[in-house]
Structure 1
Amino acid sequence: MAVEPGMRASDDDRDRVASVLREHYAQGRLDSEEFGERLERLYASKTYGELATLTSDLPDVDLSRLPAAAPAPSKDVAPKEDQRGLTAAWGAWAMASSVNWGIWFIIGATDGFDFPYPWPLWVMGPWGIILLISTIVGGQGKGRNQR
């Protein structure tokens, strides 16, 4: 079936043109500003004719040799890097909290078990709340379609 310029383009068609634009950007034919502008126009395009204008001044690229676009990650599963970052942040929080509570205990024990105000709560409380919010909400923006 022949492709007419007025025919509607699919998401796969736009993804293939995006791959071509990325290839030309990687080869230095497009600077970052041009690349960004063309991507914006690409994802606003509705027809094959509009897609063709985005690459009309660029040499042909064999799309069959380019790798397929990677599937978007699921919103439910955070990437390993995010999980490692959260694990490290919680570990730092636990270590700092333990050290502060240890100091608090030593001060109280050396003062005849007359423990002072529990000031470590002021260290661990706000930090813990921020970490908890980051853990619960942080991964919800990942994996969305950026078009």
Structure 2
Amino acid sequence: MTGLVRWEGFSADPRRAEVAGIRAGDQDRETAVEALREAYADGRLDRIEFDRRSHSALAATLLGEFVPLLQDLEAPTPAALSVHEEALRRYRRETRDARNGVVAIGVMTSGIWGATSIASGELLFFWPIFPILGVGVGWLMHVVNRGQRIEHHERRIERRLSRREDEEDDES
């Protein structure tokens, strides 16, 4: 989908006023969530906005409710990225998210450790090292396996582009 919402994936085009009041089905909700997943994967939605819109899409009862959730995702990106550039962008976001997970776990567990040390009146064993190392290994694997992760994303992008071309050929 990269850049465009596939409105034809809905049971009827929700942008049309005469169908906006028709009840949405499970396939319509799944089509909307898939468009949101694509937008999140493309970096056009952050996690909080993706979660908010996905929740609204899954709760939608009428076709017209999908329009405000997807309307601003319709325009194509200004410059199409090459498959490698897009894969590299996805790798960087994936690695950044893994790093942020290590930091979040470190801050949270260290805070708990600090509070319990203060409450007990003595310096306790620094147990947060174990969850930090556990999550840190995942981040480190992203960094160490950079080439493989980028190739993985390239294959996924190429498969998606190939499927899109097949769908367009079928429509012709």
Please, what TM-score do these two structures have when normalized by structure 2? Answer: 0.36
Which is helix-richer, 1 or 2? 2
Please, what TM-score do these two structures have when normalized by structure 1? Answer: 0.41
Higher gyration radius (CA)? 1
